[in-house]
Amino acid sequence: MRNEDALATLMRQALEGDKAAYRDFLARAAVDIRAMARRRLPASAQADLEDVVQETLLAIHAKRHTWRPDRPIGPWLAAIARYKAIDAIRRRGARPAEDIADYEHLIAAPEVETVSAHDVQTVLDALPPGQRSVVSAITLEGRSIRETATGFGMSEVAVRVALHRGLAAIRSRMGRTT
């Protein structure tokens, strides 16, 4: 297998301390490991796939001194992947997970609440100018209380109060109109 030769070469370089080769090795190995774990994990455990991949990579890292450079690397990788997958399945067995698909009918469809940009602008415009600038700086532009305070030359407490009042006003207005 050509891929296996490439992996072995990279791992040989990695064991000499070549970080770039090691990163390349781990990235390629992760692809193989993911494929192996996907086949091995039962359908109900597929959600943990990436966890198993990461546990396997950690194990490969911790046990990298146990690969013999004169041996093929495929069986070594596969043995560790198998060991960690079985380990993961066994641990899941101790706390069995339910497949959420069985309970689909019990779970309400998520309610998506959206407000149009126009509505946002309307309620903001209804606020007193001080509250309006504070609320839009924090909620729409994502600035922090401190940044907003320095930006507007206000104390942080004053920003908090304006934000609180502005949001309360918006809540009551939105509550009335919808």
Residues in touch with other proteins (CB under 8 A): 14-23, 26-27, 30, 50, 53-54, 57-59, 61-66, 68, 71, 75-76, 79-80, 82-83, 87
For the CB of residue 20, give the shortest distance to other proteins in the complex, in Å.
Answer: 8
Nearest to 37 by CA among 87, 93, 112: 87
The two tokens of residue 35 are: 């494929």
Within a 13 Å sphere around the CA of 106, how many CA atoms are in the beta-carbon half?
5
What is the per-residue DSSP string for 130-158? Answer: HHHHHHIIIIIS---HHHHHHHHT--HHH
For the CB of residue 156, give the shortest distance to other proteins in the complex, in Å.
Answer: 34
For the CB of residue 110, give the shortest distance to other proteins in the complex, in Å.
Answer: 25
Residue closer to other proteins (CB basis): 76 or 170: 76
Residue closer to other proteins (CB basis): 50 or 99: 50
